[in-house]
A and B are shown apart, each in its own frame.
Chain A
Amino acid sequence: MQIQPILAALRHHKAGTMLIALQIALTLAIVCNALFIVHQKLAHLSQPTGIDEANIFVINNQWADSMSGPQIDAQMQADLAALRQLPAVHDATASESYPLSGYDWDDFITMKPGQVQKTTDAAVYFGDTHFLDTLGLKLIAGRNFRADEIAPLAPHHDTVPPVAIVTQKLADKLYPNGSALGKTFYAMNPAPVTIIGIVQRLQRQEVETWSAPYAYESLIFPRRLDGDGTYYIVRAKPGEMAAAMREAEQALIAQNRMRIIDPKDGVLTFAQVRHRAYDSDRGTAILMGIICAVLLVITGAGIVGLTSFWVGQRRKQIGIRRALGATRRDILNYFLTENFLISGAGAVAGIVLAIAINLWMIAYVQMTRMPWFYVLAGVVVLLLLGQGAALAPALRASRVSPVEATRSV
Chain B
Amino acid sequence: MFAYYLDLAIRSLKRNPALTVLMVVAIGFGVAASMITYSVFRAVSGNPIPDKSARLFTPQIDSWGPQYNDRGEPPQALDYTDAMALMRAHAARRQTLIYPVQLSVLPGGNRSLPIKANGIAAYGAFFPMFEVPFRYGSGWSEAQDEDRAAVVVLGAAFNRKLFGGANSVGREITLGGHDYRVVGVTRHWNPVPRFYALFGGGDIFGKPADFYIPFTRALDLQISTTGNNSCRQRIPATGWEGWLHSDCVWINPWVELDTPAAVARYRNFLEGYSAEQQHAGRFGWAPNVRLRDVTQWLAYMHVVPPESRIALMVSLGFFLICLVNTIGLLLAKFMRRAGEIGVRRALGASRLQIYLQFLVEAATVGLAGGLLGLLLTAAGVSGVGLLFRPEIARLAHIDLSLVGLTLAVAIGATVVAAFYPTWRAAHVQPAWHLRSN
Q: Is A82 an interface residue (CB 8 A)?
A: no
Tell whether, in the assembled complex, residue B29 and residue A294 are in contact, meaning their CB atoms are under 8 Å apart: yes
A358 to chain B, nearest CB (A): 12
- B112 and chain A: residue at smallest CB distance: A257
Tell whether, in the assembled complex, residue B336 and residue A313 are in contact, meaning their CB atoms are under 8 Å apart: yes
**In the complex, chain A residues whose CB is within 8 Å of the CB of B237:** 157-159
B387 to chain A, nearest CB (A): 4
Q: Is B54 an interface residue (CB 8 A)?
A: no
B162 to chain A, nearest CB (A): 15
Within 8 A of B (CB), among A100-144: 103, 108, 116
**In the complex, chain A residues whose CB is within 8 Å of the CB of B163:** none
CA distance A396 to B212 in the complex (A): 74
Tell whether, in the assembled complex, residue A30 and residue B387 are in contact, meaning their CB atoms are under 8 Å apart: no
Tell whether, in the assembled complex, residue A156 and residue B321 are in contact, meaning their CB atoms are under 8 Å apart: no
- B104 and chain A: residue at smallest CB distance: A64
**In the complex, chain A residues whose CB is within 8 Å of the CB of B224:** 155-156, 227-228
Tell whether, in the assembled complex, residue B386 and residue A295 are in contact, meaning their CB atoms are under 8 Å apart: no
**In the complex, chain B residues whose CB is within 8 Å of the CB of A291:** 33, 314-315, 318
A288-317 interface code vs B (CB 8 A; 1 in, 0 out): 100100110011011001101110110000
B66 to chain A, nearest CB (A): 10
A349 to chain B, nearest CB (A): 12
Tell whether, in the assembled complex, residue A260 and residue B115 are in contact, meaning their CB atoms are under 8 Å apart: yes
Interface size class of A (residues with CB under 8 A): 35 or more
- A186 and chain B: residue at smallest CB distance: B234
Tell whether, in the assembled complex, residue B390 and residue A279 are in contact, meaning their CB atoms are under 8 Å apart: yes
Tell whether, in the assembled complex, residue B387 and residue A295 are in contact, meaning their CB atoms are under 8 Å apart: no
Tell whether, in the assembled complex, residue B317 and residue A30 are in contact, meaning their CB atoms are under 8 Å apart: yes
Tell whether, in the assembled complex, residue B318 and residue A295 are in contact, meaning their CB atoms are under 8 Å apart: yes
Interface size class of B (residues with CB under 8 A): 35 or more
Query: Per a CB cutoff under 8 Å, which of B242, B243, B306, B331 touches A366?
Result: B306
CA distance A23 to B33 in the complex (A): 18
Q: Is A34 an interface residue (CB 8 A)?
A: yes
Q: Is B67 an interface residue (CB 8 A)?
A: yes
Q: Is A5 an interface residue (CB 8 A)?
A: no
Query: Per a CB cutoff under 8 Å, which of B22, B67, B311, B325 touches A284?
Result: B311
Query: Per a CB cutoff under 8 Å, which of B178, B243, B317, B389 touches A26?
Result: B317
Interface of A (DSSP majority class): helix
Q: Is B95 an interface residue (CB 8 A)?
A: no
**In the complex, chain B residues whose CB is within 8 Å of the CB of A228:** 102, 224
B105-123 interface code vs A (CB 8 A; 1 in, 0 out): 0100000011110000000
CA distance A158 to B116 in the complex (A): 27
CA distance A312 to B336 in the complex (A): 9
B314 to chain A, nearest CB (A): 6
**In the complex, chain A residues whose CB is within 8 Å of the CB of B386:** 283, 286
Q: Is A320 an interface residue (CB 8 A)?
A: no
Q: Which B residues are closer than 8 A to A by beta carbons?
A: 18-19, 22, 25-26, 29, 33, 37, 67-68, 102, 104, 106, 113-116, 176-178, 201, 224, 231-240, 242-243, 305-307, 309-311, 314-315, 317-318, 320-322, 324-325, 327-329, 331-333, 335-336, 386-390, 392, 420, 424
Q: List 25 A-B contacts (CB under 8 A).
A: A19-B328, A19-B331, A23-B324, A33-B314, A62-B102, A65-B177, A188-B233, A257-B113, A260-B114, A260-B115, A280-B305, A284-B387, A287-B311, A287-B387, A291-B315, A291-B318, A295-B321, A298-B22, A301-B22, A301-B325, A302-B325, A306-B329, A309-B335, A312-B336, A365-B310
